[in-house]
Structure 1
Amino acid sequence: MRDRRREPARRIGDATYRAADGFMFRTPGAPIEQLCAWSELADTGAAGEDRSRRRLADGLVDASRSSFFLAALSLASPDLLARMDAWRAAPLDPAQATVLRAVSRYFVRMCARATPYGLFAGCARGRVAERTDLAVLPRAQWRRVSRLDMDALSQMSRRLGEDQVLLRVARLRRNPTLVRIGDRWHAVETRVDGRKRRHHLVAFVSDDYLELVIDACTGEASLADLVDRLVAHDPEIAPDEAQDYVADLIRSEVLLTDLDPIVTGGDAGRQMLATLQGLGVSGVDESPLVQALAKAVDAMAAMDATSVDVVPVGDAGSATAYERISASLNEAGLDSDPARVVQVDLFTGADVATLGQAHCRDVLAGVEVLAHLAPPPQEGALADFRRRFQDRWGEAEVPLSEVIDEEHGIGFLRSDSPAAGESPLLAGLPFAGGGAGGQPAPAPAFRHILDRTHAAWSSGAHVMEIDADEVKRLAGTLAEPLPDAFAAILCVLPGGDAGAPVGPSLLLQGFSGPSGATLTGRFTHLDPSLLADVREHLVAEEACRPEAIFAEIVHLPEGRIGNVIARPLLRSHEIALLGRSGAAADQVIPVADLMVSIQGSRIVLRSRALGREVIPRLSTAHNYMLPAIGLYRFLCVLQGQGVLAGGGWQWGPLASARFLPRVVCGRVVLERASWRVDRKELDGLLDDVGCLQPAAFATWRAARDLPDWVELAEGDNVLLADLRNPLLVEMILDRLVRIGGGRLREALPTPEAQVAVGADGRYAHEIVLPFTRQIVAADETATRAIPRQQATVAPVSRRAALSPGGDWLYAKLYAGEAELDRLCLDLVAPLVASLPDGDDAPTWFFIRYADPEPHLRLRIAASRHLSAPELLARLHEQAAPLLDGGRLRKLVLDAYEPETDRYGGPEALPFIERWFRHDSEAALTLVAASAGASGSDLRWRLALVGARLILDDFGFGPEPAQEILRAVDKGYRAEFATSRALDGVISRRFRDHRPELEALLARAGAEEVPAELAPLRRRTERTRTLVAALLALAGEDRLAAPLPDILASLMHMHINRLLRAHPRAHERVIYEYLARLGQSDLARRRAGVKAGQHA
């Protein structure tokens, strides 16, 4: 058993992280020495140029005859495989130049690139141990694992769905994107165009029949069940008509079938075959599609049982096994491509390779530096979503499907956010937001990078060292915390194990999360050891948030993407979108069950049925920013909320420099040296037919000071070249010409320095090493929970919506922002003044809002003395002249939905609503006293004092009050993407405002208060009994929300009532001011205590 006391761990920011027990060890299909041996055939003498090309070409021909290379190529490029014989006959024939370069690229790929791809590279399971030993098993012990391509399975599913016999017994379920809006149902429908799947929003007018079918498919039902229900509901409908009706709903994807391939669970092809054979339909085995599927499953099982060296060709060598599978499927009516019909992955063994604990510690040291160098967070899609949500619904909880609906909701990833405005408090503050795109602002510590880079350029050094302590000193705190779970990608360098005295130990390529399973999840079907590692890692992640449910996102954007997205069941719950989950029904959270709200600065997803927060996760590496439905993008983007979702070295504004040095920090290489190559430099290096001009190239290479081994990286594609090998030089120069120039980087480690070793030589490698946050003590867990604002979410117990004319009058009064103050004075104040007073006084309150049009929301409770219709008549009487004069743009009545749980539950809500009345009364008086442009500067000061007095009124002393203020301030800092520049301006402004604010707060606590603070004193006096009642509920643990969260909401609503525009931006500054003032007060108190102790 692993000794936890000695495991590699490191504190980064506010948390401690440790490495997992296991890691993914990725290697190419052939040792790097095969590439080196081929390159050594080159003759470096000037007289041997032609001979060198011939020797290299002949060597490549020999290498291309390898059975393993042919097996890999038969899967990756059947077309190239078919052209190999003609090329071998004349490998340097200019007519074969395209084939020559393609074979060169595939050979380099097989020897040098570790990223898994068919048989060209695979993965193993390694384990963390005392020392590093990256051993590679012999190829004879490797295994191939084959699956039918998801595009072929998707085609088959659509064809099977047209079989009426199968449909009668298939299980049907409702489309998870269905949402009812008014009298219409909205859903996302998939339309197939060739091999492309496109998603469209469609709407259906509801009727009794549609409601019956959708209700019956909330779980699962069969077509026969639905036909029986429809006929029972309306005996005039014939069974055939009912069946046609349901079939139409299946074709339009209102209903989905269990004939769809699973995205999570076991092998989708084998599962589909088992489902078909288990339907109990006579003759199903004679279906051409089912027979073709069975043949494919058997053929893949036979291939997987053979050695990976065996070329999957027929006896005559005329057709590969993949081509035969494709032909069989096409005969059954599909349109499959032999190059894509089978997805193959390579497993190269378990528990042979080890990574030492010293290397694990070095990885964490590198991650810490990268985290401190990360640029400040920018306003992004989630910030835009928060603004839009709050504009529309405030802090209410709303069904997610309604929110994301593109027609009636706010959608996701829209880009027309409003520009920020100004006020006396906000004027000149450099808030992040809506400007043109571009590179993110450099990290605060970037000036250290600039200094070191300029020093390297001045000295001509190829390596620059940065100082971790200096980076951390300049950066201060992390801009964003690391995720609770992430993974680092690294390569081990020679001589760096077990505390070697000199030299870097590894190349850290970067890290990503949450979680650490994004790069490993899709490979967990290869071996139980990989699956166990990932599940253990995810359990550790979930232990960091035990109050929440983590759920895998299940979605199939396109058929072939399923090859990347398909994975085993990794978590206890899943969220199924347009993709079929293999989990049990009670483990799938329906989209219709998900609610969304804004709590502080966090977007919170919650399951109504389970009564818990839901944290979505996609444990596979899919680029979800590609065209996809908004619901899928939203859930995926939400994963990175509030954390540094990944990091790697970034040169920022230096990225286009002609030369950039290698970057080393301690024992970690953070970036490789690189050279910018412009297109015009390449002229004259190749002749008209693409052959190298050796003299010109040698001169150019010397001038650029390029090493022997370089790489060209294009996104995820990396091409290695030996610049002493003319065929590889031609390959890489040809690519540079085609893309108009690029950036070459040094190969690190170089081939001769690779430390992964197998029986047949050295291997290139990559390691994916997961980390999780350790739960070491209660205090750390509590610290991490503060930014989340609310650790637990009580089940919804909202009062039913109260319709107009019921117990409450709820009116929205629309006007311009500047006019809202006058509406407060000319409409709201006279109206509420006419209401009964004393014991018969009704509850009422108002808030400011925008949806996105600015308006007041006025709510007045009906009573036995004044009914809702009478209230409405009084409102119309007050509003009529304002409407006629155009000052009031429109008056809208709505249903009042109290946010019961947010304010403590049904017992607390009446006290909160009455507190709102007294706060609204105070706000009206303060608005009147600070009317006009000259009053704006006074208004925010009054809001600050009023917010602070709320904490005093509820008996929160200096220290507990300061904890609330720090937490709220931290949330708003995250919301507004706080930058160093913004912090600097606020700090300078606070120093100017501090004396008067301290004096104002002192006067607010005096026995006699000045006139401008009298309304706030009256609020304190009139709410004492309400506050006492709420404190009693809190003492008896009868509040549905933590009391500090309720007080944060009361402060938020108070500031909202007072400030005419941009209340959240004002809150960003006000809460920081209050936190700074509170900190100063605490410091003075502590200093006084110490002075008294020494007196």
Structure 2
Amino acid sequence: MKDYQVQKDSLLVRTPSFTYINSLTEDDLSTFINDRQFLESLYLASADLYSELEKLEFDPEAIKRNKRLVQKLAKYILRASTRSTPFGKFSSVTLGPNLPNESEKIVLGELKQKTRLDMDVLCELKELILSKDGVRENLRFTLNSTSYILRGSLRYYEGKIAGFRKKFNISSVELDEYLKAVYNLCKNTFVDYVEIRATIQNFGFSVEETDEYINSLISSQIIVSELEPRIIGGNFLYDLLDILSKKEALKSTLTIINSSLTRIIRIIEDIDRENRPDNISKYKEVETILIELGLDLTKKKLFQVDSYRELESGGLAAKTIEEIEKILPLFCRLSKPIYRGKMQLFARKFFQKFETREVPLLEVLDPELGIGYHFENSISDETECLIEDFLLKKLVDAHINNTYEIALKESDINDFPLHKYAYPSTSTLVVKTLNHDGKDLLIESFGGMSSGNILGRFSHLGSQFKEELKNIADYEKERNPDLLFCDLSHLPDNRVANILNRDFSLDYEIPFLSNSYKNPEHTIPLDDIMVSVIDDFVYLRSKKLGRFLSPKIISAHNTSYNTLKLYEFLVDVQTQHNNLGAYFYWGKFSKNFEFLPRVVLKNVIIFPATWNLSTREILGLSNDQDVHFLREKYLLPRFIELKENDNDLVIDLNNEISIAILKESIKKMEKVILREHLLPELNVISQSNNGILVPASNQYVLKVENSKIRKIPRNERFSENGNVKRKFELSSEWLYYKIYMSESNFDTYLVKIVKPIISELRKNGMLEKFFFIKYEDSDTHIRLRICLKSLDEAWKCRYMIAEKLSSEEILRLSIEEYDREIERYGEHNIESIENIFYEDSLHFLDHKNKDYSDELNDELKAVAIRVNTIMDSFAYAWEEKFEFFERLIHDIGYFGKKENRVNGDLIFRDLGKDLIRSLHLNSEEDRMFSIHSRMLKESNAPTVFENLMRSIIHMTVNRYLAKFDRTKEYMIYYLLKKGYTSLIKINNYVV
């Protein structure tokens, strides 16, 4: 099976709404000024610029005399004819069956639109309605969805407008009896205002005092009304009218508002249905209605318009898709991965504090009292250094030889190892077909949390979008059957809601500072979610459903920018240990080069030629001769693109208007990034509203299914019934020490410090059991747990231990309560698990200096033999051992990469004979160990027992490796599987 499978059945095309133009003439300006569709597009994008043209009565000659106006207008014209990214009516999306024909042309129907009021306007309208007398008293309210009780206070997230953005801060209020009554009444349900009033009045307050108190709860956002927007499965304008029209007591109060909303809906429906090229008069009619209602529309964008076309015929050729599938693995191997390391850092911090316990989400993410999510993306991949060194040599050679294009070979790239982390189940690949220097394709981007994210905001455009989103969701569920996929419904900012708003929903939803219209059985409150960490993987679990969760935002929203950390965390959970994309990166030294050559793989451009130039040099261009000199000096082509934030502005260096735009655009920049403009293949034919077929630029958005995804570790959690003591206080028989060291030489400390403690306790008959694990993050330490037989002389034991742990080699000592990992091991198993860990830890201290070497291969062999001893203690047969490690290796996914298998095979080739002989002869089995192993095996279901075995073996590897390393752990499992395969063959079995 291919690593990357590009979907062939359907096709998403994004196209500019106007025919391709890369150089503007005065005649072009006149043409666009007289084009009604362009003027409507301009009105929606910039009402201010439209107003300036309107003042000049759209007279081309008058407009041309105003150079500033010409430049602003020209930028929009170039955008409308070259840029495919959806933006109002300047560009459109098309989704349909991919049916390529001999002509390799794609024919699209006429431009259609779906119009909505901008969410910023709707939210202001909602506030206007709430301010009307008598409205609040007739609404229903619910508790703020982020509310939770901690340390006697009600804590929740409160949003406040700061400038043009909403900022969230955590607020805390003392939980008195009145607030507790409201909390219990309104939690996870909507309650009539009059019922809240009656609840407070029961404490003896007057109506006036009660209303004042309730209004304070509303203004501080402790409770929120049913008028708050939902972003999934609805249109907020329709929702407002639907709610208000059902309030009989408000009909007279809101007659004008209800009538106005009805008129606005009718006008918008007329716009979308009639599909005329000029709807400006209707837009202005809506604007007038809103102003008459009392809304301040200053500096507000009124409409959110999404444009689309039907796919009439054609598609992307099969040979093109095959070419992409061949290139993509090479591109991903060579490119810099986009990886968010914050979740991995969070997992370490969580485990350090809570180990394998489950903790409520809102408590853990509390920025003041919990761990929070304030981590930097500091995880790196050593593969990147190898690639950067390789590319730096190529770059230096190109500069020495004055090379414009570097053609990379497959043999150049295949030697690089794959990146550490896999991609999600589905990703999005954006490509453009070209007619440029004999090149066919440009890879513009690859990645994303899901290929559905780029489609989400268009789900209201037609049934084909919803069907495609459902197909994607179903595929991703199949790849992750242990997880419950659920929508994360959050409104971080009014304007952002235009992107987040979607008409497609999953079966379950997590409401987060936004309303939900799903029934309670299908909503998962934030305070229902628990967090745990097993094997560096962060799990979210719904208490009421008993399922592990994967929150989804089916949207292209950038969640790492200006968002609540709790929201960012919930989004990051779905792609932990995943690359979120890949892009070609010359390396950290590339900023020192003025010119970065074009890079091609086969016939595909993966990096256009790029220039890093000084602003001063471009601002100094005063005539054609200056431009000619600049082009010769830097090998600049005639057509270039200016990188301006997220926009690419096409510039013609032979065009006076273009150069003026360039100089105006870069005035405030220190450095100017220019990129060659690659001529598109004009194979997309769009139908204009007057029926004329016009050629246009293109952008294809392809769904990529990734076969090698990271398998999510199994997490069989046990419930707690209180039948076994969980927590042991400091004065109990259980002693728990965290021993912090200056260096990660664990075994030296264990032999020099821990072993004498255990020996003395055993000699004096005071030791019931003990065990340890090694822990290495920013603070290297050993976690030592000791259980005494009796408390009678416990003080002597504590004194002796304290004395031996007072070594100068120990940086710090922490004495803590022992909290048993009941969820991980189960109440009925915990005693057996502790005894197994005891025997294993004791064996380590007794045999460390005799049996274990620091040489890598010898160490791997010795630990593998110890793991085999564990398997023998549980009476596994050879075939069962093989099957166990085959499943474990499959679930880990590490050996899905060819180079990792090759490394494992090389080590086995070196160790194979000795390892096989040792495995065959190894029959060590402790009686106590066997008793507890039988108890575990007999008292648990097979799948639960296997999960327990994985934990036991993982802990053994942690103890016996001199320095714990995941790669070494996986290699041990691989060696055992290979060894068992050989032993079975020797014994005439066939695997």
Q: So what's the TM-score if we normalise by structure 2?
A: 0.86
Q: Judge which range, 918-927 or 632-641, deviates more.
A: 918-927
Aligned to 1:442: 384
Number of paired residues?
974
C-alpha distance in structure 2 between counterparts of 1:390 and 1:1003, whole Å = 36
Is residue 832 of structure 2 the alignment partner of residue 911 of structure 1? yes
Is residue 576 of structure 2 the alignment partner of residue 641 of structure 1? yes
- What SS does the corresponding residue of 1:632 show, helix, strand or coil? helix
Aligned to 1:181: 150
Is residue 703 of structure 2 the alignment partner of residue 770 of structure 1? yes
- What SS does the corresponding residue of 2:579 show, helix, strand or coil? coil
Aligned to 1:898: 821
Aligned pairs (5 A) from 1:3-18: 11-12=2-3, 17-18=5-6
Structure 1: gaps (5+ residues)? 1-9, 40-55, 314-320, 418-431, 434-438, 496-501, 687-692, 775-782, 1009-1016
Aligned AA (1:367): L
Aligned pairs (5 A) from 1:599-748: 599-653=534-588, 655-656=590-591, 657-686=593-622, 693-748=623-678
- What SS does the corresponding residue of 2:819 show, helix, strand or coil? coil
Q: Judge which range, 595-604 or 615-624, deviates more.
A: 595-604
Change beyond 3 A, Cα 1:653–1:322: same
Is residue 118 of structure 2 the alignment partner of residue 216 of structure 1? no
Aligned to 2:360: 399
Contact 1:802–1:897 at 8 Å: present in 2 too?
Answer: yes
Picking from 922, 929, 944, the partner of 1:1041 is: 944
Change beyond 3 A, Cα 1:339–1:163: closer
Q: Deviations over 1:63-96 (max 9, x none)?
A: 2121111111112111111222566668699983
Q: CA deviation at 1:373?
A: 1.5
- What SS does the corresponding residue of 1:696 show, helix, strand or coil? helix
Q: Judge which range, 481-490 or 953-962, deviates more.
A: 953-962
Q: Deviations over 1:773-797 (max 9, x none)?
A: 57xxxxxxxx867x4232x645645
C-alpha distance in structure 2 between counterparts of 1:528 and 1:765, whole Å = 23
Aligned to 2:745: none
Change beyond 3 A, Cα 1:746–1:520: same
Is residue 7 of structure 2 the alignment partner of residue 19 of structure 1? yes
Q: CA deviation at 1:559?
A: 1.0
C-alpha distance in structure 2 between counterparts of 1:491 and 1:703, whole Å = 29
Change beyond 3 A, Cα 1:371–1:795: farther
C-alpha distance in structure 2 between counterparts of 1:953 and 1:533, whole Å = 51
- What SS does the corresponding residue of 1:336 show, helix, strand or coil? coil
Aligned AA (2:870): I
In angstroms, what is the RMSD of aligned CA positions?
4.6
Aligned to 1:191: 160
Change beyond 3 A, Cα 1:215–1:284: farther
Aligned to 1:499: none
Picking from 396, 403, 407, the partner of 1:465 is: 407
C-alpha distance in structure 2 between counterparts of 1:773 and 1:281, whole Å = 56
Is residue 756 of structure 2 the alignment partner of residue 788 of structure 1? no
Picking from 159, 170, 173, the partner of 1:204 is: 173
Structure 2: gaps (5+ residues)? 743-748
Change beyond 3 A, Cα 1:204–1:448: same
C-alpha distance in structure 2 between counterparts of 1:267 and 1:805, whole Å = 55
Aligned AA (2:454): L
Q: CA deviation at 1:723?
A: 3.0
Q: CA deviation at 1:663?
A: 3.3
C-alpha distance in structure 2 between counterparts of 1:222 and 1:295, whole Å = 31
- What SS does the corresponding residue of 1:144 show, helix, strand or coil? strand
Q: Judge which range, 129-138 or 111-120, deviates more.
A: 129-138
Q: Judge which range, 590-599 or 957-966, deviates more.
A: 957-966
Aligned to 1:370: 331
- What SS does the corresponding residue of 2:48 show, helix, strand or coil? helix
Identity %: 21
Change beyond 3 A, Cα 1:368–1:991: closer
Q: CA deviation at 1:642?
A: 2.6
Aligned AA (2:330): V
C-alpha distance in structure 2 between counterparts of 1:852 and 1:458, whole Å = 44
Aligned to 1:954: 874
Change beyond 3 A, Cα 1:167–1:490: same
Change beyond 3 A, Cα 1:1020–1:1002: farther
Q: CA deviation at 1:694?
A: 2.0
Picking from 686, 691, 694, the partner of 1:761 is: 694
Q: CA deviation at 1:652?
A: 2.8
C-alpha distance in structure 1 between counterparts of 2:377 and 2:759, whole Å = 35
Q: CA deviation at 1:626?
A: 0.9
Change beyond 3 A, Cα 1:529–1:1054: closer
Picking from 250, 261, 267, the partner of 2:218 is: 250
C-alpha distance in structure 2 between counterparts of 1:59 and 1:537, whole Å = 43
Change beyond 3 A, Cα 1:272–1:440: farther
Change beyond 3 A, Cα 1:1058–1:245: farther
Contact 2:392–2:586 at 8 Å: present in 1 too?
Answer: no
- What SS does the corresponding residue of 1:11 show, helix, strand or coil? coil
Aligned to 1:128: 98
Change beyond 3 A, Cα 1:471–1:206: farther
C-alpha distance in structure 2 between counterparts of 1:670 and 1:575, whole Å = 39
Contact 2:30–2:60 at 8 Å: present in 1 too?
Answer: no
Is residue 409 of structure 2 the alignment partner of residue 474 of structure 1? no
Q: Deviations over 1:646-696 (max 9, x none)?
A: 12333335744444444333353323333443334325313xxxxxx1232
Q: CA deviation at 1:261?
A: 1.1
Change beyond 3 A, Cα 1:1057–1:454: closer
Q: CA deviation at 1:882?
A: 7.7
Change beyond 3 A, Cα 1:1049–1:723: same
Change beyond 3 A, Cα 1:576–1:829: farther
Q: CA deviation at 1:122?
A: 1.5
C-alpha distance in structure 1 between counterparts of 2:482 and 2:638, whole Å = 55
Q: Deviations over 1:375-416 (max 9, x none)?
A: 478782122112111111122332222221112221113249
Aligned to 1:358: 319
C-alpha distance in structure 2 between counterparts of 1:685 and 1:806, whole Å = 77
- What SS does the corresponding residue of 1:605 show, helix, strand or coil? strand
- What SS does the corresponding residue of 1:1066 show, helix, strand or coil? coil
Q: So what's the TM-score if we normalise by structure 1?
A: 0.78
Contact 1:385–1:412 at 8 Å: present in 2 too?
Answer: yes
Q: Judge which range, 921-930 or 633-642, deviates more.
A: 921-930
Aligned AA (1:761): V
Aligned to 1:426: none
Q: Judge which range, 936-945 or 359-368, deviates more.
A: 936-945
Is residue 243 of structure 2 the alignment partner of residue 275 of structure 1? yes
Change beyond 3 A, Cα 1:440–1:613: same
Q: CA deviation at 1:525?
A: 1.0
Contact 2:99–2:316 at 8 Å: present in 1 too?
Answer: yes
C-alpha distance in structure 2 between counterparts of 1:396 and 1:942, whole Å = 32
Change beyond 3 A, Cα 1:911–1:724: same
Aligned to 1:1028: 934
Q: CA deviation at 1:308?
A: 4.0
Contact 1:400–1:594 at 8 Å: present in 2 too?
Answer: yes
Aligned to 1:421: none
Picking from 1066, 1072, 1075, the partner of 2:964 is: 1066
C-alpha distance in structure 2 between counterparts of 1:893 and 1:443, whole Å = 42
C-alpha distance in structure 2 between counterparts of 1:453 and 1:264, whole Å = 48
Picking from 500, 506, 520, the partner of 1:565 is: 500
Change beyond 3 A, Cα 1:726–1:963: farther
Contact 1:882–1:888 at 8 Å: present in 2 too?
Answer: no
Contact 1:798–1:897 at 8 Å: present in 2 too?
Answer: no
Contact 1:554–1:575 at 8 Å: present in 2 too?
Answer: yes
- What SS does the corresponding residue of 2:518 show, helix, strand or coil? coil
Is residue 952 of structure 2 the alignment partner of residue 1050 of structure 1? yes
Change beyond 3 A, Cα 1:251–1:396: same
Change beyond 3 A, Cα 1:74–1:702: same
- What SS does the corresponding residue of 2:173 show, helix, strand or coil? strand
C-alpha distance in structure 2 between counterparts of 1:476 and 1:823, whole Å = 41
Q: CA deviation at 1:845?
A: 4.6
Change beyond 3 A, Cα 1:336–1:879: farther
Aligned to 1:380: 341
- What SS does the corresponding residue of 1:355 show, helix, strand or coil? coil
Contact 1:127–1:355 at 8 Å: present in 2 too?
Answer: no
Aligned to 1:167: 136
Is residue 72 of structure 2 the alignment partner of residue 102 of structure 1? yes
Q: CA deviation at 1:220?
A: 0.7
Aligned AA (1:684): G
C-alpha distance in structure 1 between counterparts of 2:39 and 2:976, whole Å = 72
